[in-house]
Chains A and B, each alone.
Chain A
Amino acid sequence: MSVAVRERLRVAHYVVSGNPVNVIAFGLFAFLVLCAIAGPAIAPYSPLATDTPIALQPPSAAHWFGTDQLGRDIFSRVLVATRLDLLIAFGAVALSCVLGSVIGAVIGYFGGWLDATVSRVVDVLMAFPLFVLAMAVVAALGNTVANVVYATAVINLPFYIRLARAEINVRRSLGYVEAARVGGSGHFRILLVFLMPNIFSPLIVQASVNLGWAVLNAAGLSFLGLGVRAPTAEWGIMVAEGAQFMASGQWWTVVFPACALMITVFSFNLLGDVVRDILDPRLRT
């Protein structure tokens, strides 16, 4: 193990053990990942199996979280949905992080008309309320889960582009880049080997802070009936289906998927703070 990595690990250990909240954050995150991996295998019922005679029953020993309007077991549905919700969030954030940092790095490095054009496009993207933009993107591309990922990625893109552009821009004329250029490295090699690794930390920090937001965004879209279709188990759509029963008192149809959403976003937000503290201690508040 190199010295730098060992140093990082020591900081990580210090940050995590310094605050019990951080331990909780990691615990929750591990729990969510476990649910996402093992969820379908350990769910007591099929998430799609309907059983109308026992529709809308409150939580009981047989059905921990009660049943919904079609008699489906809410506990199983919440559990199984973890995988889909996490995949959407991680997919969207990974996509926008990779794409955004490459675009931002290229325009920040080369500048000129390319930079001017792309920056304008980013300004235009940012001029829309982002959630509205995501709605329109899903509608335009078609009502599928993959398009929810793309839509969430698109509305996150501007942040990564701006971040990578700014970070590359301040570094492109630094001594070590000059040295690499004199040493005969091409633009591609300079970007990939000398510049990108240096802006890795802020990008990861941004990505981890974005995760919770991506979950909320995807759930909001499916709450409106965009992206995820009806029988699929997904938290947003489960809340939407339960919404009409909230005014008549069947709280369990909404509360359990909503809690799952909340815990996920909460743990992602905490985790974002932890990752920020580890990678970029200057930003600590």
Chain B
Amino acid sequence: MRIVWRLAGAVPTLFGVILATFLLTRVLPGDPAVYFAGNPSMDAHAIAQVRKSLGLDKPLPQQFVIYLDSLAHGDLGQSISTGMPVREELMNRLPASAELTICAFLIAILVAIPLGVVAALKPGSLVDQLCRLISTLGVSLPTFVTGLMLIYVFYYLLGVAPEPIGRIDPFLVPHQITGFLLIDTLLDGNYEAFAASARQLVLPAMTMALFALAPIARMTRASMLNVLSSDFIRTARANGLSWRTVVITYGFRNAVLPVVTTLGMTFSYMLGANVLVEQVFAWPGIGAYALNSLISLDYAPLQGFMLLMAAIFLLVNLVTDLVYVIIDPRVEFGK
């Protein structure tokens, strides 16, 4: 029941998001009708005809209602430059972005949380200094610079990484089930293609992971330090509980709540950083798609992209809230 309420709470925001994307893309310069007509020498009459067929001659509120109606039917419009339905193109490209973002996120979590915990256990130690160095680097280095440096070192100097030209040829993976090449190749039993797609993924995923590491490690360290200095930890120690129980069961469980918040925030920052990383590695994801549409002033794909991003964002917030309740039963859902 509470989940329903929490979902209902997101509806006004979602509506606002739809309105905002609609308005924002309407003020984009350039007349789509002229573009659609395809020929600058077309006469005014023909352009007016195209405008009418696109519904651009109607007043703005009416256009919005039409837009809402088509959204309700799952129609995100058509791309002007490719002529393809936006939904189809987004769905084709989403797995590439999702694979990259999720892998990077997992790497970041697996490195940052242990790093933060160890740093908090021994403040001032070598690990603590390393933690500080990495989190400083992570916030000071632009993602595109990290990516380019990694390309220089691992592709040009060491020659261990493949050329940064995106994912492997999709024709090498005949049966696309999930669109995640790592999973599809395994399902196919094609280990060679699996290794190839993993090699393509390593550098971009590392780039993004380094970006995501910093806030997570920082928050884990701070939260862990805070918890470890509290009275119940001292009591647990004094009662002779094992080190493992004190740190993991007593300490970490209590320290993890703010970390979850940071995880949610970091994930949404990664959605934005995605565009830059995809640009550096020629990764054929939705960020690159949005950027191309932005440059060619093709507003339907851009609108679709913004909506998809905001929807993912709201979903991530919801998941964060859910995880809260699981970790700490005292937290009331929907608060």
Contact = CB atoms under 8 A, between A and B. Distances in A.
A129 B313 contact: yes
B20 A124 contact: yes
A29 to B, nearest CB: 14
Interface stretch (B34-42, B51-59, B151-159, B188-196): B151-159
B100 to A, nearest CB: 15
A124 B12 CA distance: 9
Contacts of A125: 20
A265 interface: yes
Interface stretch (B110-118, B136-144, B177-185): B136-144
B279 to A, nearest CB: 6
Contact of B16 (A124, A223, A225, A249): A124
Given A127-B314, A246-B148, A254-B148, A224 B24 contact: no
B94 to A, nearest CB: 15
Given A128-B313, A220-B144, A136 B17 contact: no
Contact of A269 (B17, B140, B155, B164): B140
Nearest to A141: B27
Interface residues of B, number: 50
B269 interface: yes
B136 A266 contact: yes
Given A132-B272, A136-B302, A220-B276, A258 B140 contact: no
A285 B222 contact: yes
Given A142-B29, A249-B152, A220 B271 contact: no
Given A140-B27, A224-B276, A254-B145, A247 B151 contact: yes
How large, as a class, is the contact surface on chain A? 35 or more
B271 A129 contact: yes
Contact of B309 (A128, A137, A141, A224): A128
B290 interface: yes
A139 interface: yes
Contacts of A285: 222
B275 interface: yes
B306 A128 contact: yes
Contacts of A261: 142, 145
A232 to B, nearest CB: 18
B179 to A, nearest CB: 21
Contacts of A258: 142, 145, 148-149
22 contacts: A120-B16, A127-B314, A129-B268, A129-B269, A130-B269, A131-B269, A133-B306, A135-B291, A140-B28, A212-B140, A220-B144, A224-B291, A239-B142, A243-B280, A247-B156, A248-B156, A249-B156, A254-B145, A254-B149, A255-B149, A262-B141, A269-B139
